[in-house]
Amino acid sequence: MDNNNTQQPDEFMQAAIAEAKQGRNEGGIPIGSVIVRDGQIVGRGHNRRVQHNDPMAHAEIDCLQNAGRIGNYKGTTLYSTLMPCYLCAGAVVQFGIKKVIVGENKTFPGAEEFMKQHGVEIVNLQNEECMQLMENFIEEKPELWYEDIGE
């Protein structure tokens, strides 16, 4: 089910946005993520590719690593300020995360169809703050952005 509706972010998306801002403030790419189970954040992270000189350190991967071994991911929801790329979508599918709430997909379409084909529900908020974070970053540091998305 796709829900493209411009609603305001809840506390969990606000936490993901805070992670994105932390990444930006560290000189990195402003993408943040949290994973939620039973109404509690069990992991949080942000894109650390620049900070760690690690091409795999995407926000969703950082979030999952920070969550640690939580058993299984049944009933979890992943929040991300940007539509996950194929790397991160692959992790979502691999771990059986069935719901992803996304800040926006206008600046980057990501792997939405891939996740849907694997039974993942996508809720796209089209949040203005998330879009603005990415638009500003892409304008300020296009070479870093294109490196991040592999172009």
Long-range contacts from 136-144, C-beta under 8 angstroms, 24+ separation: 137/24, 137/29, 137/30, 138/107, 144/29, 144/50
Place of tokens 């993901």: 16
Helices within the chain (DSSP H only): 11-25, 49-52, 59-67, 86-95, 112-117, 128-140, 142-148
Instruction: Considering the candidates 60, 129, 135, 147, report the single residue annotated as catalytic.
Output: 60
Catalytic residue flag (residue 121): no
Place of tokens 């049944």: 74
Q: Which residues are catalytic?
A: 60
